[in-house]
A and B are shown apart, each in its own frame.
Chain A
Amino acid sequence: MTWVGRSAARREDPRLLTGNGTFVDDIHLPRMLHAQFVRSTIANGTVTGVDLSGTLAVPGVVAAFTAADLEMGDITAVLERPPSEFVPTAMPVLARDRVRFVGEPIAIVLAEDPYSVEDGVEAAQVTYEAHPPVLGEEAALAPGAPLVHAAAAANTLVDVSMFATEGIDDIFAAAHRVVRVRSRTGRQNALPLETRGAVATWDAREEQLLVRTCTQVPHQVRTVVAGCLGLGERAVRVVVPDMGGGFGLKCVVGREEIAAAAAALRLRRPVKWIEDRRDALTASFLAREQRYDVCAAFDEDGRILALDADVVCDMGAYSCYPFTAGIEPLMASAELPGVYRVPAYRVRGRAITTNKAPSAPYRGVSRPQIVMVMERVFERAARELDLDPVEIRRRNLITEFPYTGINDVTYDPGSYLEALNLCERMLRDEGWYERKEQAAAEGRFLGIGYSCFNERTGYGSGAFAKRKMAVVPGFDLAQITMDLTGGVTVTTGTMSHGQSHETTLAQIAAGRLGLDLAQIKIHQGDTDRITYGFGTFASRSATIGGSAVARAATKLADRLLHLGAHLLETTPDDVELHDGHVRRRDGGGRALAYRELAEVAYLKANLLPKDAEPGLTATASFDVHGDGTFSNAAHGAVVELHPGTGRVEFLRYVCVEDCGVAINPQVVEGQCRGGIAQGIAGALFEEVTYDEQGEPLCASFIDYKVPTANEIPDIEIHHLETPCAFTESGAKGAGEGGTIGAPAAVLNAVNDALRPTGVELEDTPIRPETVQRAIGAYA
């Protein structure tokens, strides 16, 4: 039976939907202490004193430690680039003398219950010498600005001019038309429903620190825990229970889980830290605060001739591990040309440091912005050249593959033009263009907007090496073991935080082994169960993790064929796997059930062929040595703006996506819908804001306006299929596309609706007040 391509029911759901999942906060251990943190109340300054005597006097408080008490190494993320391009900065687990954002952890408090620990935190006395905070690009880059890190001149952590086509200035000078787009995007929180957390325990028998934590990258957490605490990696085990989302925020290593582990080691008692929502909103990892200044040269036919971009990303107070503050500017610089044939390209990408909570990857990483900017470039050019906005895209889309772009990236085949055409045809056939005309005649503001984009997935070690990261993620491992009952356990180095690996990876293995899903157990998130892995981020699990599983399954299948052929007294070429059995292709003789083979492999090794090892285990790895594989999609949004309130109402949202072979189409659609919801959130709703002292103004969901199901429209999804040539299942990644495409489609639709007013909006989130003011001024 073929499993790949079927919308098999999620095997995770019965457990999760009946409340039987086990999340970090569901772990309760005898003698467990609860940890919380004394956090900086100022954005920038020197700590002149920490007095924990009041804390220790609170009933229930057991201990409290500062950086000096625990002696932990710093977390330092590194790019192997010259000092002119990258400045490494150390992030201490607990702040020592300097604090750099409101919410930075200064001391860890441990108490018998989660209430007393907060009383203990409240009783701590910290004195500061406050300095003026650096709170934005302008302040950070101003001459003579105070420095967030002494080593980082001009508050710049990354400054890379990745491309500069020779003669580009001449192209601009001679161009028929130059359009310029300047855009800012608000700081956002990836906002997993489950906040961060950890339960750390010293296991005396194993001589091992067991850290249960909700992370996308268990092995990287092990490395940092071991490094900061001076332990061998074998003395640290990271185990990940069920997770309620991550979205990139949990693919970096945080400070609090290290401090909790250090406290558990010191006190020899289990320590639980669960981040509360206020800390999650203000003191966790943030993302997306960027500024673009982009010029594009066009000929009279609307063909783009050159692209010149200046990108500044506000990465907050520290570089995140292992990606560094380069994560956003380097992604933006490498990928800006996107799905278009851009003949000349110049880009400067910078990461600046400010007195805000640090940035980490968030679903899409810079691509929501670069797609928004590029799609705005084409919309503007279409207006100025009096071309249809879809037609101008058609003239510039990459249509022949493989295509090596000006950004030195080779794109594998995709369906860029087909996706855009189908998306447009759907909206035309449904009559939205006529409705838009009619609305305009009635003085209503209805707009249609598109986005057309690709998404690099399956970043292997080759692609990450181009970034010059000291830690080069890329490959992954899978191990498959058949047990005596003829079923298998698949162990993967990837880590589902909502991606349905228990279903999709099982589908891959089931197809290769002729097994039913029920006979396959997926095991993930335990550093003691698999040699190494890079976890789940950058849409890598189906492509890289899935390919490793497919290869391991193929190896195991091969062993089963050999063993079966031996027992059936024929050759491997004459047997096949079918429905849990090895049988002769000619239909002769008896079919051997897997459990019979397993019995021989484990309990009757005397019957094995001479050269065969006992047991039935296979291990395989997979890496991508080229530039990865590119999913693509086109989004179409129809909105109506309400003049009296500025409300943006969705009338229609369609998505045509191509992620190659969809292992499980229902799972892909879930990824698209969730991603689009987060994209809409960025376009219209969410922004982390600060007052002039650097105090975050979004400490609850009252102020941080994550949209709910009420605000997200129905989304129709269509699939195209351009299989990936080098992943084992033909799959491309599907984790981020929705988030990447939605902001551009929404912004374009809003601007299309605003067209009579002459106002063009380039910044997100678009506030109702902004829309109301634009229309009000026009009326």
Chain B
Amino acid sequence: MKPAPFTYHRARDVAGAIALLAELGEDAKYLAGGQSLVAMMNFRLARPAHLVDLGGLRGELAYVREDDGVLRLGALTTHHQVESAPLGPDFAVLREAMSWIGHLPIRTRGTVGGSLAHGEATAEWCLLAVLLGAEVVVQGVGGRRTVPAEELFLGFFTTALEPEEMIVEVVFPRPAPHAALTEFAQRRGDFATVAAAVDLDAGRVVLGGVAPVPLRVPEAEAVLARGGTFAECAEAAAAAIDPPADGDGGAGYRRALTRTLLVQACEEAMRR
């Protein structure tokens, strides 16, 4: 469980890091908090020839700015920084959701941008970004562009980012005072067997663990839009999905979890 050989580079500024990655090609990876990438490298499931460490950019890219109903998070903001940030009721859902991410040591290293770029389908940030309609600001050799979160995740660990593109900021453009995320895993801190997130203000429903990407469920959202009950909403979601089976449970079990968790998330969101 030691990584294959790689060359280590330390980035001094954003533009330099991007230029370096463009020059090194597809065998190069950015290293943010390292909480997923390094473990995969130790298993030799990931074998980048070059790592460009972004640790030196924290001064520039780690921040939490809430201003006039808009929240901006620097890409290198850690989960723990969000967890301990004085966020108002508009974005309390983010602060509360952080406790689902791994364990405290992981949260002190793992980053918002790293998690989104990794694109794991049950990752809390991926769900939250889709749920709250986040705009993901990415920078490449040609400058900056904004990718709506819903267009970021293309498939299993696959995102719309170009190899050299770096997430620099995540913008949550609208308040979400009545939103919640909940999950179930047999052990606290594990990848969710199913995660359910709901934003009652926007009428959005997003599920994790039931598809290769964080999944918006229009059928369930339609129930909310027409004023159906939370149970009806959950039932519609369970009927709409085609979840995978693995050691944590079969498709039927994931549907059952979806029913339970979505009602819980709706009730929690209501209470806020």
Bound pair: A and B?
A: yes
- Residues of chain A having any CB pair with chain B under 8 Å: 114-115, 118-119, 122, 276-278, 644-647, 684-685, 689, 697, 699-700, 702-703, 705, 707-708, 710-711, 767-769, 772-773, 776
Given the interface pairs A278-B1, A697-B247, A769-B249, the reply to whether A645 lies near B257 with Cβ below 8 Å is yes
State whether B190 touches A119 (Cβ < 8 A). no
The minimal Cβ–Cβ distance linking A697 to chain B, given in whole angstroms, is 7
The minimal Cβ–Cβ distance linking A179 to chain B, given in whole angstroms, is 31
State whether A119 touches B4 (Cβ < 8 A). yes
State whether A773 touches B253 (Cβ < 8 A). yes
Task: State A732–B260 Cα separation when bound (angstroms).
Answer: 48
State whether A644 touches B256 (Cβ < 8 A). yes
State whether B184 touches A645 (Cβ < 8 A). yes
Given the interface pairs A685-B186, A705-B187, the reply to whether A769 lies near B253 with Cβ below 8 Å is yes
Residue of A nearest to B184 (CB): A645
Task: State A150–B252 Cα separation when bound (angstroms).
Answer: 44
State whether B1 touches A277 (Cβ < 8 A). yes
Task: State A702–B36 Cα separation when bound (angstroms).
Answer: 12
Residue of B nearest to A59 (CB): B5
State whether A703 touches B247 (Cβ < 8 A). yes
Q: Using Cβ atoms and an 8 Å threshold, which residues of chain A touch B178?
A: none
Q: Using Cβ atoms and an 8 Å threshold, which residues of chain A touch B89?
A: none
Q: Using Cβ atoms and an 8 Å threshold, which residues of chain B touch A118?
A: 1-2
Q: Using Cβ atoms and an 8 Å threshold, which residues of chain B touch A708?
A: 187-189
Given the interface pairs A647-B186, A702-B190, A708-B189, the reply to whether A278 lies near B43 with Cβ below 8 Å is yes
The minimal Cβ–Cβ distance linking B99 to chain A, given in whole angstroms, is 11
Given contacts A645-B256, A769-B248, 14 further A-B contacts (CB under 8 A): A115-B3, A118-B1, A122-B4, A644-B259, A644-B260, A644-B263, A684-B186, A685-B187, A700-B43, A702-B191, A703-B247, A710-B188, A772-B256, A772-B257
State whether B187 touches A645 (Cβ < 8 A). no
Q: Using Cβ atoms and an 8 Å threshold, which residues of chain A touch B56?
A: none
Task: State A773–B256 Cα separation when bound (angstroms).
Answer: 9
Q: Using Cβ atoms and an 8 Å threshold, which residues of chain B touch A700?
A: 43
State whether A114 touches B249 (Cβ < 8 A). no
Task: State A644–B254 Cα separation when bound (angstroms).
Answer: 11
Residue of A nearest to B252 (CB): A773
- What is the size, in residues, of chain B's interface with A at 8 Å between Cβ atoms? 27
Encode B1-29 as 1/0 by CB contact (under 8 A) with A.
Answer: 11111000000000000000000000000
State whether A705 touches B186 (Cβ < 8 A). yes
Task: State A277–B43 Cα separation when bound (angstroms).
Answer: 10
Residue of B nearest to A703 (CB): B247
7 A-B pairs with the lowest CB-CB distances in the bound complex, closest first? A644-B260, A710-B188, A276-B1, A769-B253, A769-B249, A115-B2, A118-B2
B155 within 8 A of A: no
Q: Using Cβ atoms and an 8 Å threshold, which residues of chain A touch B259?
A: 644
B250 within 8 A of A: yes
Task: State A391–B187 Cα separation when bound (angstroms).
Answer: 36
Residue of B nearest to A115 (CB): B2
Q: Using Cβ atoms and an 8 Å threshold, which residues of chain B touch A277?
A: 1
Q: Using Cβ atoms and an 8 Å threshold, which residues of chain A touch B191?
A: 702
What are 28 sample pairs from A and B whose C-beta atoms fall under 8 A apart?
A: A115-B3, A118-B1, A118-B2, A119-B4, A119-B5, A122-B44, A277-B1, A644-B256, A644-B259, A644-B260, A644-B263, A644-B264, A645-B256, A645-B257, A647-B184, A684-B186, A685-B187, A689-B247, A702-B190, A702-B191, A705-B187, A708-B188, A710-B188, A767-B249, A768-B253, A772-B257, A773-B252, A773-B253
Encode B39-63 as 1/0 by CB contact (under 8 A) with A.
Answer: 0000110000000000000000000
Given the interface pairs A644-B257, A768-B249, the reply to whether A710 lies near B189 with Cβ below 8 Å is yes
Residue of B nearest to A709 (CB): B188
Q: Using Cβ atoms and an 8 Å threshold, which residues of chain A touch B260?
A: 644-645
Q: Using Cβ atoms and an 8 Å threshold, which residues of chain A touch B44?
A: 122
Among the interface residues A118, A645, A647, which one has the most CB atoms of the partner chain B within 10 A?
A: A645
State whether A776 touches B256 (Cβ < 8 A). yes
Encode B230-270 as 1/0 by CB contact (under 8 A) with A.
Answer: 00000000000000000111101100110111011000000
